[in-house]
Amino acid sequence: MQLPAATACCLLPTLKFAPEMKSYFKLFLVFLAIAICITQLSCEKEITVDLPTAAPKIVVEGSIEQGQPPIIFLSWSQGYFEPTDISSIQDYFIRDAVVKVNDGDEEVTLTEICTSELTEEQLALISELLGFSPEEMAAYDICAYTSLTMVGEVGKVYSLTVNYEEHHVSSQTKINNIVQFDSLWFEVISADPTDSLGFVFGIITDPDTAGNAYRWFAKRISHYPEWENSLAGEYQQDLAGQPEDFSYIAPNGSVFDDEFFNGLTFEFGYYRDAILNSYKRDDYDIERGYFKRGDTIAVRGCVIDKGAFDFLSSFEDQQASQGSPFSIPFNLKTNIVGGLGGWIGYGAVYDTVICE
C-alpha cells in the first residue's frame, strides 16, 4: 500500500534503524532541512554594514635616480566606493604644496610643474621621465614636483618633507651602489622552431653584503610595422611606425631581495607586462605577456633600499591578490611617515637586448 507523502514523512520518526544507521539518518535530515530552506524559504537576509570613514591622507609617489632630478606626485587617499572617473581623479592631485628634498649637503624646494603649462616640445621631452605618453599629458592636467638644480648621486641619502595646510609628511631613501648585469638575453620558450615568443633572462652577481634589493623594468624600443593599425575591441588607433612601448614598465613581481642568494651569481627571467588599461592588440592576443623575435628591448635594472623594497613588494602582493576571496588581507607597507605611498631611490643600470 502506498502512503501519501505527508503521511510517510510523519511516520519517519517511528521507523526503526540499526544503531550504525542513526547517524546517517540524522545527517540526511540536516541536508534535507538545508535544501528546503534554500529552495522554499530562500534563507536570505539583507545585511547593511556601515563602513567607517577615514580622514584623507597625503599619498606620495616619488623617486630619484642617479643623474636624474627627483620626481614627486602628490594626491589624496581615496575611499573604496568613491568614483574613479577621470574628472574625479583630477580632484585628487594636490597643488601648491611645499615639497623639499635634502641630500645631506643642501636642501632644495621643488618646483610644481603641470602639463597644461607646457608646450608640445616640452611635453615630448619630459613624458618618459614622468611615465606618461604625450597624449595622456595633453589630455589631463598632470602635476608633479621636481627640481631644476638637484640630481641624484649614488651613496647619498635623500630626505623628503611635504607640507600642505595642516598635513605634514616625511620620508628617507638612499641611492645604493649600482649592480651591473653580467649578461642579458632573449630566449624562445617553446621547442617549436617556428615559434617566436619568449622571455628576457639575465644574470647578476649579488654583493656579499646582506640586504640588497632590486627592481626590473623593460620597454620595447622597436617600432610597429606599417601595417599595424588596430587595437582591441572598439578602440581603434593607427600604431604604424610608433614605438611598441612608450615608457619603462615594471611587471608584477619586479622586486626581489637577496635573502636566498646573498653573495651569489644567479639567473632570473621576466615576462612582458603592459601599461594599465592598454588597448593595443599585442597586449590582448596570443602575444600578451611575451616578447618576440624582432623586438629590441631596453632594460632598466635598479638597486633599491630596504624601505623601498618593503613598500614595492607589499604593493605588488596586493595587486596580485586583488579581487581574490581567498587572499589574506593585510595593510600596505609604506616608508612615508604621516602619509601613504613610497619615496624610492634608484641606483639604475641600462642595457639593450635584441631578440634574435
Q: What is the pLDDT of residues 22-80, one digit of tens each?
A: 555 555 555 555 555 555 545 556 666 666 667 889 999 999 999 999 999 999 987 65
SS3 content of the chain, % helix, strand, coil (to 5): 20, 30, 45
* Position 213, amino acid: A
Residues in the chain: 356
Question: So what's the pLDDT on residue 166?
Answer: 93
Mean pLDDT in residue range 285-296: 93
Mean pLDDT in residue range 250-259: 93
Query: Is pLDDT of 289 > 70?
Result: yes
Burial degree of 127 (CB within 10 A; 0-12, 13-18, 19+): buried
Listed in sequence order, the residues at least 6 apart from 98 whose beta carbon sits closer than 8 Å to its beta carbon are 109, 162, 163, 164
Query: Which domains, and CATH codes, for the chain?
Result: 54-175 (2.60.40), 177-356 (no CATH)
What is d(CA 17, CA 31) in angstroms, rounded to the nearest whole number? Answer: 19
Query: Is pLDDT of 290 > 70?
Result: yes
Nearest to 72 by CA among 17, 158, 130: 130
Phi, psi of 35 (to 5 degrees): -60, -45
Question: So what's the pLDDT on residue 273?
Answer: 93
* Minimum mean pLDDT range among 31-40, 134-143, 185-194, 325-334: 31-40
In this structure, the number of other CB atoms found within 10 A of the CB of residue 20 comes to 7
Nearest to 342 by CA among 61, 96, 4: 61
Q: Which of 29-38, 109-118, 164-173, 325-334 has the highest mean pLDDT?
A: 164-173
SS3 306: helix
C-alpha cell at 236: 581603434
Phi, psi of 120 (to 5 degrees): -60, -40
Phi, psi of 166 (to 5 degrees): -90, 5
Mean pLDDT in residue range 5-11: 39
Residue-wise pLDDT for 220-229, tens only, equals 999 888 766 5
Query: Is pLDDT of 332 > 80?
Result: yes
The Cα-based distances of 54 to 51, 78, 224, 249, 329 in angstroms read 9, 9, 46, 32, 18
Question: So what's the pLDDT on residue 9?
Answer: 40
270 DSSP β-pair partners: 200
Mean pLDDT in residue range 178-188: 96
